[in-house]
Structure 1
Amino acid sequence: MRALVTGASQGIGRAVALGLARAGFTVAVVARGARLLDDLVDEITGEGGRAVATAFDVTDYAAVAAGVHALELELGGLDLLVQAAGRIEDREVPPWEADPAQVKAVLDTNVLGAFHVARAVLPGMVARGSGRVVDLSSGSASKDSGRYAAYGASKAALFRLGGAIAAAGAEHGLSAFELSPGVVRTAMSTSMSQHADRTEWTDPEAVVEMVLAIASGRLDAWSGRFLRVGVDTPEALLAVQDRLDPAARRLVVAPYGPEDPLG
């Protein structure tokens, strides 16, 4: 099995890349900085795994397309894409006080960047008739908040993009999942004032466990849906997946009642 992990030089992306390699995956790791990627490849190969690295900025489609093409040539294709590249605003303010430049940077990375990578990777998966996409999502995608509006908007947009991949890709053997990792102790999460007093953090190994369960195909019934590490486990999801409501864990507008014409 061959996986590509974006945002792999640090944080959750790095933990997922290491976990996949330790589980036997050949891992292609991507981020903007080559030095940290080289360190990660050295660690994986030092443990007996196989990894290759390509540095590019996900907001630059030409660079993404060239980088993904080179990785596919080297690995012979990709079976799993984990989109962990992401950013958040520097300040926790209401939308009307947000810095437009920061809002654009967040949307460019979290939405346009994810689209760029998907656009480069998915044609190969379609041609081979199989593939899985895991988007690192957030609770901000599923509920309104007065804080970090650009980040929340970006994760909701990513959810809709993942849903489109799941819907259009089903007949081609593709699945897509929106996976909220809980609150892992990373440079991003510790910079957020809402976590300033937090003492309990999600174990990144629990994120790896969920990604591996998705990669195995056992959770394909959850394609197009929202999963949350720390609340969900692979076993709990497996136990209920044969009786899922069509709208369960999807990004939908709920009707106001049985008489609602949108219902």
Structure 2
Amino acid sequence: MPSGVALVTGASTGIGRHLVEGLARRGMAVAGLARGEERLRTAMVEVAEATGGRTLAVAADVTDRASVEDAVGRVREELGPVDLLVNNAGLIDELEVPLWEADPDQWWDVVTSHVKGGFLLARTVVPWMVLRNRGRVVSLGSGMSVRARPEYSAYSVAKTGLMRMTEALAGALEGSDVRAFDVAPGVVDTPMTRSMHMWQGFEDWTPPERVVELVGAIAAGELDQWSGRLLRAGADDLDALKAVIPEDAARQLRLRPYGDTDPLG
């Protein structure tokens, strides 16, 4: 079982809300970050009452440096140093249109919410993990991290950016007991997923428990060999993952050679 303090962004609803409750049930003290203070506070109280765990609601804008630094400072003061950071917050393309028809500001807001948000949280939390030589960082990825959807160009760019950030972070942390991972949650039944045209009529949802199970195993140090790589809840078998030591660039972003003579191969 994982222990210590978890910090989950986008915690008031959807996958973030499931993660907060699941990690609290596993014995972690959980801080939830989100922009809407009232809804976040309600969610954290509900989790504390349901699990008996210790929770903390911290309203913050993950794209604002001062807001993030203040939030992480408060978590550290009230719960202790962060052992598990889960970068879950992020927007989706408002309109399902080709890139050239997208609203530039909204398109960029989507990318910023994921990439700048993930960067600022990691930049603020990871130095404390390095000082303690202990910690795990999980960024919520997507199938669109590796296969772009033309009608969700901003979201695709954002999720791919997170994968590169995870790989860079894991490389910089090599040799320490601080690790970084991407977790694609599959297709979880959330308000955001329901709003996407591509999932209308879809019923084969990934149980949120599979996401919690995977993140919990990462927090417990059971999947350290997968640091810097993408895992997929609902498709990956946890026991199989534990038994595999990935080689080369398995589950990382790479160009596929066009043939044996490809100079970039």
The TM-score by the shorter chain falls in which range?
over 0.9
Unmatched 5+ stretches in structure 2:
none
TM-score (norm 2): 0.95
Whether 1:131 and 2:135 are equivalent positions in the alignment is yes
Q: Distance in 1 between matches of 2:176 and 2:232?
A: 26
Residues 210 and 233 of structure 1 are in contact (CA less than 8 Å); yes or no, is this contact kept in structure 2?
A: no
- 2:36 maps to 1:33: yes
Deviations 1:82-112 (A, max 9, x none): 1110110111111111111111110110111
What letter corresponds to residue 255 of structure 2 in structure 1? V
Query: Unaligned stretches of 5+ in structure 1?
Result: none
State how far apart, in whole Å, the 1-side matches of 2:188 and 2:48 are. 25
CA positional deviation for 1:258: 2.3
Q: Residues 44 and 144 from structure 1, CA distance in 2 versus in 1: closer, same or farther, beyond 3 angstroms?
A: closer
Of the three residues 164, 182, 185, the one matched with 2:189 is 185
Query: 2: distance between equivalents of 1:199 and 1:257?
Result: 39
Aligned partner of 1:94 among 62, 73, 98: 98
Structure 1 stretch 141-150 or stretch 37-46: which is displaced more? 37-46
Alignment: residue pair count: 261
Q: Which position in structure 1 is the counterpart of 2:45?
A: 42
Residue 170 of structure 1 aligns to a residue in which SS?
A: coil
Letter in 1 for 2:227: S
TM-score (norm 1): 0.96
Counterpart for residue 143 of structure 1: 147
CA drift of 1:205 comes to: 0.8
2:19 to 16, 19, 23: 16
SS at match of 1:152: helix
SS of corresponding position for 2:148: coil
Task: Tell me the secondary structure at the aligned position of residue 68 of structure 1.
Answer: helix
Q: Secondary structure at the match of 1:148?
A: helix
SS at match of 2:95: coil
Shift of 1:233: 2.2
| SS of alignment partner, residue 170 of structure 2 | helix
Alignment deviations for residues 221-252 of structure 1 (CA, whole Å, 9 cap, x no partner): 1111111112112112123x23x221100011
SS in 2 for 1:105: helix
- 1:59 corresponds to: 63
Q: 1:78 aligns with which of 77, 82, 97?
A: 82
Equivalent residue number for residue 262 of structure 1: 264
Pairing 1:225–2:240 present = no
> By how many angstroms is 1:53 displaced?
1.5
Percent of paired sites with the same residue: 49
Distance in 2, matches of 1:2 and 1:87, equals 25
Three-state SS of the structure 2 residue aligned to 1:63 is: helix
**Which letter maps to 1:162?**
T
Deviation at 1:200, TM superposition (A): 1.6
Which residue of structure 1 aligns with residue 159 of structure 2? 155
RMSD of equivalent CA atoms? 1.1
- Preserved contact between residue 165 and residue 174 of structure 1 (Cα < 8 Å): no
- Distance in 1 between residues matched to 2:121 and 2:227, nearest whole Å: 19
Tell me the alpha carbon deviations over residues 199-234 of structure 1, each in whole angstroms, 9 at most, x when there is no partner: 221111111011111111111111111111121121
CA distance in 1, matches of 2:242, 2:132: 26
TM-superposed deviation, 1:75: 2.0
